[in-house]
């Protein structure tokens, strides 16, 4: 199964969700490949402590053999991101249009039989890197905060997903919308969670019952480059992510 964690908005918990999902699956003795398609330095590659001098996702898209860009780190195999992903459009300018957007799928298909799960951490944009992630994926997970500005982008994202289905990946599914940074005690958060549920239904999916509560431990765990399940295993956020993963896997 290939999951892409996608949202064109930044700061909604894509990397946190990708890392938590990878770590939870490894704890279930699953073989996991994590793919960092984000150009930001604080992304999945930072969380896992990827080697800076290693080959990365950009080189993979430019034709490097997939086996040469995979790093084994703490039980997870990783294809590291690169700041060059921000300019991937110009990097791949000479590629044919169809191949340019299907490059990641082509390479991941070569190794997907070696893994139980491949988790793609998408960038906060809807450019070439995101399109590669959507075309490679079986299902999409959309993290979003219960904030009107973030929720407003769900319909725009769905338009892109529909276009990808029509042209490249007709079997692409949305596994669900995951609400992050949830403030349980505020009425506004509860009301916006209901709005998220309505929007999810409009795009043919659901919100996960699990909601990821707001906490400082996530940032601390990322800074320490540790799994949230190791750094803060008794916290609400760790429990929330365990609930989310169990809910996700129950639908497979």
* Torsion from C-alpha of 124, 129, 131, 137, nearest 10 degrees: -90
pLDDT band at residue 149 under the 50/70/90 scheme: confident
Least confident of 127-131, 187-191, 192-196, 223-227: 223-227
What's the number of CA atoms in the CB half-sphere (13 Å) around residue 78? 27
CATH of range 2-250; options 3.40.50.300, 3.30.420.40, 3.30.70.360, 3.30.70.380: 3.40.50.300
Give the phi and the psi of residue 153 in degrees, each rounded to 5. -85, -5
* Ranges of each domain in the chain: 2-250
Task: Tell me the DSSP string of 22-60.
Answer: HHHHHHTT--EEEEE----TTSHHHHHT--TTS--HHHH
The residue with tokens 């497979």 is 252
The residue with tokens 């000479």 is 94
What pLDDT score does 96 carry? Answer: 57
Least confident of 11-25, 99-113, 224-238: 224-238
What pLDDT score does 236 carry? Answer: 86
Cα end-to-end distance, the chain, whole Å: 9
What pLDDT score does 104 carry? Answer: 93
Higher-pLDDT residue of 231 and 3 is 3
Residue 164 has pLDDT above 90, yes or no: yes
pTM for this structure? 0.93
Residues 9 and 118: their CA atoms lie apart, in Å, by 22
What pLDDT score does 95 carry? Answer: 60
Least confident of 8-17, 52-61, 129-138: 52-61
pLDDT band at residue 40 under the 50/70/90 scheme: confident
């Amino acid at each position: 199964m290939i999951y892409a964690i996608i949202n064109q908005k930044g700061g909604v918990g894509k990397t946190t969700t990708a890392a938590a999902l990878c770590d939870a699956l490894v704890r279930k003795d699953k073989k996991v490949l994590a793919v960092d398609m984000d150009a930001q330095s604080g992304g999945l590659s930072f969380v896992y402590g990827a080697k800076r001098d290693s080959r990365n996702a950009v080189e993979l898209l430019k034709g490097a053999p997939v086996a040469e860009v995979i790093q084994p780190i703490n039980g997870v195999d990783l294809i590291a991101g690169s700041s060059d992903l921000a300019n991937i459009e110009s990097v791949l300018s000479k590629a044919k249009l169809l191949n340019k957007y299907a490059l990641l799928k082509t390479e991941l298909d070569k190794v997907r039989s070696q893994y139980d799960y491949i988790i793609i951490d998408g960038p906060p944009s809807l450019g070439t890197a995101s399109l590669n992630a959507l075309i490679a994926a079986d299902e999409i997970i959309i993290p979003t905060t219960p904030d009107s500005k973030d929720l407003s982008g769900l319909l725009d994202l769905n338009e892109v997903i529909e276009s990808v289905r029509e042209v490249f990946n007709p079997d692409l599914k949305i596994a669900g919308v995951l609400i992050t940074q949830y403030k349980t005690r505020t009425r506004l958060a509860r009301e916006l969670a209901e709005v998220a549920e309505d929007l999810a239904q409009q795009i043919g999916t659901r919100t996960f019952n699990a909601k990821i509560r707001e906490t400082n431990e996530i940032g601390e765990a990322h800074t320490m480059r540790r799994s949230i399940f190791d750094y803060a295993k008794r916290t609400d956020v760790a429990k929330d992510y365990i609930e989310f993963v169990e809910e996700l896997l129950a639908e497979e």
